[in-house]
Amino acid sequence: MEMKPERVGDALTRLRRAQGQLAGVIESIEEGEDCAQVLTQLAAVSRALDRAGFKIVSSGMRHCQTAREEGEEPPMTEEELERLFLALA
């Protein structure tokens, strides 16, 4: 299944936000910031990535359902999507 920006919705926005947060984590470490602050930022990055991943998997599930409803062969099986979803959890 192709990854198209219009299909994944705001997942790209979430990924860009996580990218900026990760840059902040790296900068904080390089500047010797407080450990608690670095870990807080790192936890935010992790949550943003999780949310983006769930958003991408859910959009894939919707795409497959729409394909089935239109009588087309979905690009991924339910089992494949389930494995992707469980890998995120």
For residues 44-72, one letter each, b for 16 or more C-beta atoms within 10 angstroms of the residue's C-beta and e for the rest, the string is bbeebbebbbebbbebbbebbeeeeeeee
Output the six-digit token pair for 49. 């990535």
Q: Mean pLDDT throughout 59-81?
A: 77
Q: Which of 52, 44, 57, 42 is nearest to 14 (CA)?
A: 52
Q: Which residue has the higher pLDDT, 6 or 17?
A: 17
Is-contact 63 75, C-beta < 8 A? yes
pLDDT band at 58 (very low <50, low <70, confident <90, very high): confident
To the question of pTM greater than 0.85 for the whole model, the response is no
Judged by DSSP in three states, 39 sits in: helix
Of 7 and 24, the structure prediction assigns the larger pLDDT to 24
CATH C-level class of 10-87: mainly alpha
Residue 26 pLDDT exceeds 70: yes
Query: Quick one: what percent of the chain has pLDDT higher than 90?
Result: 35
pLDDT averaged over every residue in the chain? 83
Q: What are the boundaries of each domain within the chain?
A: 10-87
Number of H-type helices and E-type strands within the chain: 4, 0
- Provide the pLDDT for residue 2: 66
